[in-house]
Chains A and B, each alone.
Chain A
Amino acid sequence: MAHQISLFMENRPGKLNTIIKAITDKHIAIKAFTIASADKFGIIKMLVNEPYKVRELLRDSDLTVALAEVMVIEIDNISTNMVSITELLLSKGINIDSAFGFTLSKGGKTLFVIETQETAQIKSLLEDKGVKVLSDAQIYAL
């Protein structure tokens, strides 16, 4: 299973810069990036091509890191296709912990990153419906 990085961070100027620099200095590619903020602290979620290496890198800098299992699906049209996916998950009573979507600039395809405890189940459900679920290698090679 593929993983993304979750990072606990206090909201302070310069903090983000330090983290990004630590990762990119090692020539690790950041594929996707979100921040969920709660007042004075936040959680950064990052899709990177070498999550285990990044975890060690950040831990060495005394940062609080966790890995979360993710899956990435590829859809053509976010507004029409998303509905069928969310309806499908709803009918099976599956909950999503966290998710974000983005559109690749060249291919025009939309990628959707889902964090859930039930990756395997969702994967088979979606594949049955003909939704493209990216393999780990495909994710890390994005």
Chain B
Amino acid sequence: MVDILQFFIPQKGAGVYWDKDTELMGKDELEALQLKRLKDTVKRASMAPFYRDLGLADYTIKDLSDIHRLPVTTKQDLRDAYPYGLVCSSRDDLVRLHSSSGTTGTPTVVYHSNHDIDAWTELVTRSMYMTGIRKTDIFQNMIGYGLFTGGFGLHYGAERLGCLTIPTGPGNTRRQLKFMKEFNVSAIHVIPSYALHLADTLETMGLDPEKEFPHFRLAIVGAEPHSEETRKKIELAFGIDAFNSYGLSEMNGPGVAFECPEKNGMHLWEDSYLMEIVDPDTLEPVKEGEEGELVLTTLNRHSMPLIRYRTKDLTSIIPGTCPCGRTHRRIRRITGRSDDMLIIKGVNIFPVQVEQTLIGMQGVGRNYQIILESRGNNDHMLVRVELDPAMFSGDIGALEGLRAKIRSKLRDELLITPEVDLCEPGSIPIPAGKAIRVIDKRNI
């Protein structure tokens, strides 16, 4: 039997655009769509206990500039509203959750309905298609699956595109290389430092990365801030094109903003996110082109809309239009954070997680320090911990035991394993005012 509905579903993926109508939508039409979706979002969000308590329903939205009057939402709000305070749909509609990693603090959880997963997948598919990935590509996804959004996000997008998708996840370098070679992989998703690590590994094996994979042509890099130099290094090492991507779990995950073939800034999908760039101190909008904190409002998430979410990521809008024709405005590479979050090996870590793990551990003194370095192309994390003099018995075995215990507790909390050094009490400098806990010596 012929499904007559298929004739009414617009066909996606013609020419260089996955969703031509949306990607090339004119300014007026795009803003009208944003306004319609913003009104709908505010109405939905008002039903979530958190926004109901804020009196969100009392705000009337007449035009897009009304967004500036709405209250902002922070990561702390997500924690305070844990577990369901930001959900506005029925519990029965939820089909998935993603969460931050922390075990000591309250996790931040984002919930999705079938509609939300579908809308997110559509954005990822659009983004991947924009970079040039097609259904004929064989796609190896080297980003973490699980509670982290990076793996699942691109996985669903690649399947919708029609790629043969290999969900290797991160790590196990030899297997990654074996799969890439034996399945003629043409596109990968990877954190930038790991892409360079793959190239290094091949070189130490005496292989030329470019000759080893004749089919490999494209990499999507993300989950970790990196420079233009790093991108060029990746492209040169393998003889491929590498595209930068941006996303955060609070805004679904990857697929918020992506580079087009122009590789000059990332198109932020404005049909799905309302973008503001504000001064992090005053929350006043900065002039277009100036750097500030990116604040995003979801425009197409039903079960857990977020209003004016403070990403804490610093960036700026590239003024003007892109030669690729897409009308969605571009943001520059993320230049830093307006808080102290660190991204290590693609994992988000707050120094306070280290502190909470160390506090109350027997044998641990009052001060600690985090030192980040690049070793080869890999991030390396060292945690220096002062010893509690009262606990010292002169037994070297006890010290080794304490070090191993700190390491394992930090691994449980951070999901990466740092090196731990025990230090003499008083040896870590305590500067006047706010203690400098983190020394970041990495070459980004």
The interface of chain A, by Cβ under 8 A from chain B, is 6, 8-10, 36, 38, 40-43, 45, 62-68, 97, 115
Contact = CB atoms under 8 A, between A and B. Distances in A.
B393 interface: yes
A39 to B, nearest CB: 8
Contacts, number: 49
Nearest to A44: B394
A41 B394 contact: no
A65 B391 CA distance: 10
B395 interface: yes
B393 A40 contact: no
Contacts of B392: 6, 8, 64-66
Contacts of B286: none
Range of interface residues on B (Cβ < 8 Å): 10 to 19
A36 B424 CA distance: 16
A46 to B, nearest CB: 11
Contact of B387 (A8, A36, A38, A42): A8
26 contacts: A6-B392, A6-B393, A8-B399, A8-B422, A8-B424, A10-B422, A10-B423, A38-B396, A38-B400, A41-B399, A41-B423, A43-B394, A62-B424, A62-B425, A62-B426, A63-B424, A64-B424, A64-B425, A65-B389, A66-B392, A66-B393, A66-B394, A67-B394, A68-B394, A97-B395, A115-B394
B421 interface: yes
Contact of A43 (B389, B396, B425, B427): B396
B387 A43 contact: no
Given A8-B424, A43-B395, A66-B392, 4 more contacts: A8-B392, A41-B422, A41-B423, A43-B394
Contacts of A68: 393-394
A55 B424 CA distance: 15
A68 B395 CA distance: 10
A42 B399 CA distance: 9
Contact of A64 (B389, B395, B400, B421): B389
B421 A41 contact: yes
Contact of A36 (B396, B423, B425, B426): B396
Contacts of B399: 8, 38, 41, 43
Nearest to B398: A43
Contacts of A38: 396, 399-400
Nearest to A40: B421
Nearest to B393: A66
A9 B424 contact: yes
A64 B395 CA distance: 12
